[in-house]
Amino acid sequence: MRGENLQPTQDAIEKLKRVQEFSTQPFDSRVATFAKFLATRLNGGDIVPLGFMMAASLALYDVEKGESGFTGEPLTTGLEHQDPYVYTLISLNVPALAQASFPKPFADEVMLEYGKYLDLSGKEADELVIRPVSTIEQAQTLIFDSALNKVKLLDWENLGINGKEKDIEKLFNAVFPLILRNSGMNFPLNILMDDEPQEADLLKEADPERKKHLGGKFWLTIINRVIPVEEATFIRDWLYCKSPEFISHQLGLDKNEAIKHFLNNNPSYLMAGIRLNSFLEKNNL
C-alpha cells in the first residue's frame, strides 16, 4: 500500500518505484524498470531537481555500461546491453518520470533542466515516440501531431514555399490516410474502409476509443492491442518521411528534388530514414 504518512521525498521515491501504478499514462516496461532502479539511487536526504537529473544520468550510464559506478559490480536490471534507442527512450522519459512521481513544481523544474540538456546535446525531445499507444487520442498526440510538426519544420522556404504552414498542415491531414492505406505494411494502426465487407466487420467490433471517422469511407483504427513504442515510432517516421513526397506533388514540386533537398538539409529527416531502414531490416519487412 502507498504510505500516506511518508515524507514528500519518500513518497515520491515510492511512486517512482511503482510508476506504472501511479501514472495516468502507461510507460514502456523498460522505462518502468529503469524508474525502479533509479529509485534505489535516491534513498536518503532531500532531492533537488538538478540532483534528480544527475542521478538519472548516472543511473542510465551505469545501466548502459552494465555495472554499478559505486561498487563496480555487474548490474542485473534486465536493461543492460540493449540497442542504443532503448537508452534514448529512457532518457527522453526522465521528465515524465518526475512528473508522475514528484509534486508539480519539482517536475516543472526538472523539465527546465532537461530542456537545457537537450539544447546542449543537440537532441530533439520528440526524436522518439515515448509512450505506448492504445487509443486514437494518444495516436493523434504522439504519432500524428509529432509527424505533422516535423513536416512543417522542414525547409520548405528554400523550395519556394513561403508562409504556407497552414496549407502544408491541411495537405498532411489529407494525405496521411492515403500513406497508411497504401503503405503495404500491416500496421497495428491503420486505415479501414467501411465499404469493404471484412473491414466493415472489424470496424463494428472495434472499441470506440480505437477508431475515428476521418470522413467518407475512411476510418483510423487500432485493432485489438497496444502499439509498442518501437512500432509507434516507426509509424511516425514513416509518415514523416512519406508525407513530403505526397505534399510536394500536390504543390507542383519535383518530388525527387524535394526529397533530395530535405535529406541534404535536415538531420532529423535523415535519422528518421535510418531508423525506418533499421526497423524494416530487423523485422524482415
Distances (CA, A) of 254 to 95, 166, 172, 181: 41, 21, 17, 23
pLDDT computed for residue 15 by the predictor = 93
Residue 8: its pLDDT value, please? 60
- Domain termination site, one of 62, 87, 121: 121
User: What amino acid is encoded at 225 in this protein?
Assistant: R
Spatial CA neighbour of 227 closest among 125, 142, 126, 127: 142
Q: Which of 62, 89, 121 is the last residue of a domain?
A: 121
Tell me the residue range of the domain where 107 lies.
8-121
Is 129 within a domain?
A: no
* pLDDT value for 116: 85
User: For position 45, what pLDDT does the model report?
Assistant: 67
Cβ(179)–Cβ(243) below 8 Å: yes
CA separation for the pair 167, 98 (Å, rounded): 38
Whole-prediction pTM: 0.81
Same domain, 42 and 67: yes
pLDDT for the residue numbered 175: 92
| Residue 167: φ, ψ to 5° | -65, -40
Cα gap 39→14, rounded to integer Å: 8
Say what the pLDDT of residue 66 is.
93
CA-closest candidate to residue 117, choices 56, 63, 62: 56
Residue 232 one-letter amino acid = A
Q: What is the mean pLDDT of each run of 10 residues along the chain (285 residues)?
A: 51 92 87 95 82 93 92 92 88 92 92 85 77 90 93 88 84 92 87 93 90 92 86 94 90 86 83 85 80
Task: Say yes or no: 227 and 115 in one domain.
Answer: no
Confirm whether 128 is domain-assigned: no
Do 141 and 44 fall into the same domain?
no
Residue 1 lies in a domain: no
Same-domain pairing of 53 and 144: no
The C-alpha atoms of residue 78 and residue 81 are separated, in whole angstroms, by 9
What is the count of structural domains for the chain?
2
| Full 3-state SS string of the chain | CCCCCCCHHHHHHHHHHCHHHHCCCCCCHHHHHHHHHHHHHCCCCCCCHHHHHHHHHHHHHHHHHCECCCCCCECCCCCCCCCHHHHHHHHHCHHHHHHHHCCHHHHHHHHHHHHHHHHHHCCCCCCCCCCCECCHHHHHHHHHHHHHHHHHCCCCHHHCCCCCHHHHHHHHHHHHHHHHHCCCCCCCEEEEECCCHHHHHHHHHCCHHHEEEEECCEEEEECCCCECHHHHHHHHHHHHHHHHHHHHHHCCCCHHHHHHHHHHHCHHHHHHHHHHHHHHHHCCC
Do residue 140 and residue 271 come from a single domain?
yes
| 14 lies in some domain | yes
Grid cell listed for 251: 504543390
Residue 16 CA neighbour count, 13 Å, CB half = 28
Is 45 exposed, middle or buried, given 0-12, 13-18 or 19+ CB atoms closer than 10 A?
exposed
Beta bridge pairs of residue 242? none
Give the distance, in angstroms, between the CA of residue 268 and the centroid of all CA atoms in the same chain.
14
**Assigned domain for 261 exists:** yes
Query: What is the distance between the terminal CA atoms of the chain, rounded to a whole angstrom?
Result: 45
Residues 165 and 252 in one domain: yes
pLDDT at 159: 86
